[in-house]
Amino acid sequence: MRMIIKGGRVVDPEKLDGIMDVYIENDTIAAIIEKKNDSPPFKEDDADRVINAEGCIVAPGLIDMHVHLREPGEEYKESIETGIQAAGAGGFTSICCMPNTKPVNDSKEVTTYILKRAMSLRSVRVFPVAAVSLGLEGEALSEYGELKEAGAVAVTDDGHPVVNSQLMRRAIEYSKSIGIPVISHTEELTLSNGVMNEGPVATRLGLSGIPNAAESIMVMRDIAMAELTGGPVHIAHVSTSESVREIRAAKQRGVPVTAETAPHFFTLTDQSVAEYDTHAKMYPPLRAAKDRRSVCEALADGTIDAIATDHAPHSALEKEVPFDEAANGIIGLETSLPLGLRLVDEGLLTLPQLIEKMSLNPARILGLSAGVRIGGKADLTVIDPSRQYVYHAAEGFSKSRNTPFDGWEMKGRASFTIVDGRIVHEI
């Protein structure tokens, strides 16, 4: 299979930014041609597919390091097949799936099942993230060495905090010894028994609130654990200004901590809950405007390393209920890129910074490969930054529709998602 991507703006934040032609042979980038007098590896007539990328961005394949695929066990919400279809449509060439499935991914058997199922579909790459503790119960560690050998790239009890600090210490030490990071779900359970952000909006709606400290206390605990052990800790779904402050200070001290946030935290505030909209209910909850500003500033200055969707599908059974009873979480694979491009349009991030946070940094944190380089894997995302459309969840690929962005006018979309030199999605 031979492919040429012609005339696009090739952006690899580490080394490339210019109008170039990318030549792909089988699963590999064979050449990147900038000057017309450079010799291509094959002629255009010999290509199986030529993509005109004029006006588009050719980026390293996007990587989402925080996705809930729900399979095995809750395929009525999402399956591996529908999840990777949504990922491809969103421009993601790789996704990392969380372990809170049924059964929990705390064994090589579940990890192997996920990988075999994903590979059989020959589409977007799936990298399993295994459980910190057996059954997500926070009592005994999973067998990380066995899980890594089976294909897990990190460990987390996402959806549940690791309450026991001694267990967290051991988890970081164990994961450090085998070379995978711990991803921390930061939640102080005795403070997080509300249903939305604590503040004036919650008071007006008569809903119980969750203070910022419910997140930031555990952020501080896990920074202390990383400092104690010297092992890497990645903080998931950062939403508060206090968390940003502590992560920034920890990085300045040289603590091996990284962090991610989600598009809803740099786009929305708790005002989105004003009509008791359960599609705006999640954990951490949408915060105040000052927190949103802090998250944007942290993305700009590098305090927050990555943008991850925390794609969390739920059916109407879990969402079309009273707000207090609704499940936490929203889908996000098909809206992450255009929401990220808003930050570029607003001047908060440069385009290379956005690509770094949606591709190269997740790869670096997880020990994956990413980039546009000769001899490298042909995992690429071709982005049309000016394409305008209205996002309708019902027209998406996910089985679920739980999103506060339904009906939003969007700008910017993945035109082609290419994995191993194969087009897995195009519009």
Catalytic residues: 310
- Angle between helical axes of 213-229 and 165-178 (0-180°, round to 10): 50
Beta strands per DSSP E along 255-294: 257-261
Q: Compute the distance between CA of residue 405 and CA of residue 407 in angstroms, rounded to an integer.
A: 6
Q: Compute the distance between CA of residue 91 and CA of residue 83 in angstroms, rounded to an integer.
A: 13
Under a CB-based contact definition with an 8 Å cutoff, are residues 323 and 278 in contact?
yes
Q: Compute the distance between CA of residue 76 and CA of residue 143 in angstroms, rounded to an integer.
A: 29
Under a CB-based contact definition with an 8 Å cutoff, are residues 128 and 106 in contact?
no
130 DSSP 8-state letter: B
Q: Compute the distance between CA of residue 156 and CA of residue 171 in angstroms, rounded to an integer.
A: 9
Biggest CA pair distance of the chain: 69
Q: Comparing C-alpha atoms, which of 29, 24, 31 is closest to residue 4?
A: 24
Q: Compute the distance between CA of residue 146 and CA of residue 131 in angstroms, rounded to an integer.
A: 12
C-alpha gyration radius of the chain: 21
Strand partners, 417: 381, 425
Under a CB-based contact definition with an 8 Å cutoff, are residues 384 and 359 in contact?
no
Q: How far, CA to CA in Å, does 290 sit from each of 240, 243, 287, 345, 401? A: 8, 13, 8, 21, 29
